[in-house]
Amino acid sequence: MSDAPIGGSSCDDGPLRLMAVHAHPDDESSKGAATMARYVADGAEVMVVTCTGGERGDILNPAMDRPEIKADIAAVRQEEMARARDILGVRQEWLGFVDSGFPEGDPPPPLPEGCFALQPLQTAAEPLVRIVREFRPHVMLTYDERGGYPHPDHVMCHRVSVEAFEAAGDPDRYPGTGEPWQPLKLYYHMTFNQERLEALHAAMEKAGLESPYGDWLKRLEDAPSPWTVTTRVPCADFFETRDKALLAHATQIDPNGFWFKCPLDVQREAWPTEDYHLARSLVDTELPEDDLFAGVREKVCL
């Protein structure tokens, strides 16, 4: 690493700062939202960076499947994102790239020209490096190499996040994007890990409820994650906030759909955490963790 300011060389002025990088509006509410709300409540500054506008996303809520919404889906999704970030209490920035869509077919069709997933890595990462250097996060969250699921924008989100984490502290890289700043930890979301889904599935069956997780668990058996959970953040008190943020994305989230099949009291009892894999760390920490800022708090003067 470089001689750039590291998120806490000697003693960095507080508050703690967390950045979550996501591919589309709504991803921030389905992955790590309760964690972010918890840290906001604790006094941390939290920023969501959204790589694309979600312009090619389908309307997944039948009640919102109307011609006037389809005609201006980009503007609608910006409005939804504004409501969600207000609910979560986070700041938010757009990278400004265009949604790549999810190619389906055998073979899948080529990606649209100019979309996010086809950008050269340095072109796609430069605005994120700029935001990292401005916001100066101590911790960053993103997806693993597979994107969490193989959407080309999620995979590209992983690539630009890792590039920004590794480059933002190097004064020789991305000149003209601000003073160098080195984040201290990088995590991958492990929201839909097998152990959590098994616990929720068992809890719903015990409660006499129909579980929506059976098919999902079968898919995980066929393609298990290569990553282990290293960090479980207790945040059950903020599951309701998470759900409100999800519902703010009304074109994407059906209030009668999958996300709300498991009652909150069952979730809080069966699995009261959101889960992560620690992918990079420049501070000493002991695994397993229950705090994204473990090893960082000692570096920050609160």
- Known binding-site residue numbers for Zn(2+): 24, 27, 154
Contact 124, 162 (CB under 8 A): no
Please spell the DSSP secondary structure of 71-99, one letter per residue.
HTHHHHHHHHHHHHHHHHT-EEEEEEEPP
> What distance in Å separates the CA atoms of residue 54 and residue 51, rounded to the nearest whole number?
9
Classify 101 in phi/psi space as left (phi over 0), alpha (psi -120 to 50) or beta.
left
Residues 6+ apart with CB under 8 A from 182: 1, 2, 4, 5, 6, 7, 168, 169, 282
> What distance in Å separates the CA atoms of residue 298 and residue 8, rounded to the nearest whole number?
8
CB atoms near residue 223 (< 10 Å):
10
Residues 6+ apart with CB under 8 A from 214: 201
Closest CA to 239 of 84, 32, 19, 45: 32
> What distance in Å separates the CA atoms of residue 144 and residue 154, rounded to the nearest whole number?
9
Q: Would you say the C-alpha torsion 145, 146, 147, 151 has a positive or negative sign?
A: positive
Q: Summarize the annotated binding site as residue ranges.
A: 24, 27, 154
Q: What backbone torsions phi and psi does residue 300 show, to the nearest 5 degrees?
A: -115, 130
